[in-house]
Amino acid sequence: MIFPPGTPTQPEIIALALSKLGIKKTDIFVDIGCGSGSVSIAAAGYAKQVVAIDSRNEAVLATSANIKEAGIKNIEVIKGNAETLLLAIELDCAFIGGSQKIEKILRIMMQKGPARFVVSAVKIETVALALDIMKKNNVFKELLQIQLSRGNELAGGIMLKPENPVFLISGENRC
């Protein structure tokens, strides 16, 4: 898999995020800030259609290459700004992986009508902003802080090496 600059979403985080979204076979899923496309690729097995969005050329190229390598046909990759593109995209659920313009993206998600979404964040400021917006608009469902540790060999044994914590903020717009 090709990874553009930045930290890819770990498979365990993807699994938790997708489980919180409850994706159905009839759903259109949008991956906002798709990076390498790992979230899109994982979601493609659950959703009818996946739309992967990123504003960075290297992310769009990496996502497209990774989708082709995986042989997946139900993902469309779009380069551009999510706050512009989302206005024209029909969706049922979304993963918001980038923190740029999170306020605008959440406001659009709340205007789109019924939708489920998960914000993935590593910065406390992003968590605070997303929580504030979601709570004020009665779409907040759940906040998770996930701390993974991976086993590594050390002196004939195994030590646990922690990864950076990740926050998942789940929301649902019912109107």
Mean pLDDT in the chain? 94
pLDDT confidence of residue 174: 87
Residue in 139, 130, 128 with CA at minimum distance from that of residue 96: 130
C-alpha distance across the termini of the chain, in Å = 38
Average pLDDT for 1-6: 71
The backbone torsions φ and ψ at residue 14, rounded to the nearest 5 degrees and listed phi first, read: -60, -45
What is the C-alpha separation between 156 and 170, in angstroms, rounded? Answer: 41
Under 8 Å between Cβ of 108 and 87: yes
Domains of the chain listed by start with CATH number: 11-173 (3.40.50.150)
Contact by Cβ (8 Å): 118, 95: yes
Q: Find the farthest-apart pair of alpha carbons in the chain and give their distance in angstroms, rounded.
A: 57
Alpha-carbon torsion angle 75, 79, 81, 85, nearest 10: -50
Element (H, E) at 157: strand 157-162
CB 119 within 8 A of CB 140: no
Is the pLDDT reported for residue 5 higher than 70? no
Q: Dump pLDDT digits (tens) for 128-171.
A: 999 999 999 999 999 999 999 999 999 999 999 999 999 999 99
Show the tokens assigned to 33. Answer: 């800030």
- Output the pLDDT for position 149: 94
Q: Is the pLDDT of residue 98 over 90?
A: no
Point out which residues pair with 122 in neighbouring strands: none
